[in-house]
Each structure stands twice: as structure tokens, then as C-alpha cells.
């Protein structure tokens, strides 16, 4: 399935003319909202509770899943915009290559952050469960992009 809607025919396209739609976009916002609900309400609550070890692991690792999802989607969207706008680096790339490249770039960022190679995302405490959550997020968004793509449509 093509990630760029066929409604975009003209070579002269402006960013203000485009909208993002589709399943991956809806899940983007769901993950974004869940991230804040988890950080603001659920995570502090579950940390105060006795037991609930699985919920504590989930509450501490889910942000890594979301970071991988949002980062990959954002990079893929920017690369697709570059392709639509005919930038030389992107214009000859297939959508699958863009999805793979964006997943790899996001993987480099989230895994090196978790391994404390950099602290660009804020202070981080190494946890193997966070690495697992990041990898699951990367695989999930890669599959979503290949199934549904990034739907860029003309307003």
C-alpha cells in the first residue's frame, strides 16, 4: 500500500497543503496521550504501591516504547516530505527504504541513549526492560509503517 496518497499529483506542493491521516497517525496520538497519562498519573501511583512488579516494569518501560514509535514515525514523515518535495537525497528512495532507514536512525538514538552513550533525551538509568520496550516499539512501528504507511493527503 502506498504511503503517499494519489491525491498529491502536482510537483509544486507546499507543506501547508498537506495533512497526515491514517492508522499510524492515530496510534501516534494515542501513544502520545498514553505517555503523558502514564508519566503524570499512573507511574507515580504504581511506584507508591506494594507489589505490582509487572505494572512497575510496564510503567517504567512504556515511555521507551513510545519514544521508539514517535521517533521512527517522525523521521519517516520528514523523509517522506523530502521525497514529495523532490529533495535529492530522498526522491529516489522507495517507501520501504524510507521506513527501514527511519527505524534504523531511531534505533540508533533510543538504544545508544539507553546504553548511556548520550543523554540527549534526559537523564537515563540503564534497564534491560527499557531496551526490550524500545526494540518492541521499533518493530511495532516498522510493521505499522509497512502495513499502513504515512498517509499524506492534500487538503
φ, ψ (nearest 5 deg) of residue 146? -70, -30
Predicted model pTM = 0.79
For 70-107, the pLDDT digits (tens) are 999 999 989 988 888 887 888 888 999 999 999 999 99
- Averaged pLDDT score across all residues of the chain: 82
Give the pLDDT of residue 135: 95
pLDDT reading at 6 higher than 60: no
For residues 27 and 150, the answer to whether their CB atoms sit within 8 Å is no
Domain ranges in the chain are 15-154
Chain-centroid distance of CA 73 in Å reads: 4
Mean pLDDT within 38-49: 84
Amino acid at each position: 500500500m502506498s504511503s503517499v496518497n494519489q491525491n498529491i499529483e502536482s510537483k509544486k506542493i507546499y507543506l501547508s497543503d498537506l495533512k497526515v491521516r491514517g492508522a499510524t497517525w492515530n496510534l501516534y496520538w494515542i501513544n502520545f496521550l498514553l505517555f503523558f497519562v502514564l508519566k503524570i498519573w499512573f507511574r507515580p501511583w504504581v511506584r507508591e504501591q506494594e507489589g505490582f512488579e509487572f505494572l512497575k516494569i510496564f510503567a517504567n518501560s512504556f515511555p521507551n516504547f513510545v519514544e521508539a514509535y514517535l521517533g521512527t514515525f517522525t523521521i519517516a514523515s520528514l523523509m517522506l516530505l523530502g521525497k514529495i518535495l523532490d529533495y535529492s537525497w530522498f526522491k529516489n528512495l522507495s517507501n520501504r527504504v524510507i521506513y527501514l532507514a527511519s527505524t534504523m536512525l531511531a534505533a540508533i538514538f533510543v538504544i545508544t541513549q539507553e546504553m548511556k552513550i548520550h543523554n540527549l533525551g534526559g537523564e537515563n538509568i540503564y534497564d534491560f526492560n527499557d531496551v526490550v520496550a524500545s526494540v518492541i516499539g521499533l518493530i511495532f512501528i516498522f510493521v505499522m509503517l509497512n502495513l499502513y504507511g504515512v498517509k499524506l493527503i492534500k487538503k
